Homo-oligomer: A and B are copies of this chain.
Amino acid sequence: LYNDTVMDHFMNPRNVGDLENPDGTGTYGSPVCGDMMQIQIKVKDDVITDAKFKTFGCGSAIASSSMATSMIIGKSIDEALAISNKQIIEELGGLPAVKVHCSVLADHAIKSAIYDYAQKN
């Protein structure tokens, strides 16, 4: 059901936890399953220097957030905003159709964290 990349990011998730003094915090709750995602970012000179996530969500949500946070670290705000849910799934090598809503959690939480950062600056 799940490929090796998804399983790796599920079993060894990157960037799990909280940031001290985050520059932006985003949360998003899935209307499909009720799961919540929190993503926090650190920003310096318009570049995302660090990102962490926390979730009570399923393996696909964990794998997607692990991948998504890895993808945005080192990117500019504009580059990070341009990353689509489809790209996260592509980097994961695919997800079962029924689990696409789990990867949307990461995508939306990132956008919400960037929005929070923009509002504060």
Residues of A within 8 A of B (CB): 1-2, 10, 32-36, 55-61, 96, 98-99, 101-102
Residue numbers in B under 8 Å from A2 (CB-CB) = 56
Instruction: Determine whether the beta carbon of B34 is less than 8 Å from that of A98.
Output: yes
CB nearest neighbor in B for A29 = B98
B residues in contact with A58, CB < 8 Å: 33, 35, 56-58, 61
A81 to chain B, nearest CB (A): 27
Q: Within the assembled complex, what's the spacing in Å between the Cα atoms of A32 and B1?
A: 17
A102 to chain B, nearest CB (A): 8
A1 to chain B, nearest CB (A): 7
Q: Which residue of B lies closest to A95 (CB)?
A: B34
Q: Which residues of B contact A101 (CB under 8 A)?
A: 33
